[in-house]
Structure 1
Amino acid sequence: MNDEASELKPSPKIDPRLLELLVCPLTKAQLEYDAVAQELISRTAGLAYAIINGVPIMLPDEARDINAVTVAQP
C-alpha cells in the first residue's frame, strides 16, 4: 500500500450529535471542535482534548494546556 495515500486520508470527523453531548469533565462547559488540530477545546478550563482515530480523549491529565507558552529551543 502506498504511504502517500494513507497520509492524504482526511481525519475522521466527529459526529455533531456527540459534540452536543460532550462537555469539559472539569468545568462542564461546552467544547469547541477544532477540525484542523483534531481537538476539543475547553476555553473555560484552558484545555484541549485530543481526538485520536475519531475518539475524544477526555482525560484532564492527558489534555494540552492552551494557555501554556512554548519556547523554541535553539
Structure 2
Amino acid sequence: MGHCQELSEFKRGTMISCHLCNKSISEISLLLNIPQSAVSGIITKWKQLGAIATHPQSGRPRKMTERVRAC
C-alpha cells in the first residue's frame, strides 16, 4: 500500500463547497475522482477545526520504511 499525495487546497475547498451544496460524500468522490475515505476525512476535519489548511507533521519523517527494514 503506497503513500498518497497530499491534496491541494483548491481540491479541499472544492470538496467543502460541494458539501455545503448538499452533495453526498459518494457524489463528491465521483465528481473529483478522490476516494470516499479521503473526502469524509477532510469534511470531518473541516467540521471540527473550521479550516482546510494542512498542519506541519510532528517529528522527522522516517528514512527507511518498515518493508525495507524487513528485508
> Which bracket does the TM-score occupy, shorter chain normalised?
under 0.3
Larger radius of gyration: 2
TM-score of the pair, normalised by structure 1: 0.23
Q: Which has the higher strand share?
A: 1
TM-score of the pair, normalised by structure 2: 0.24
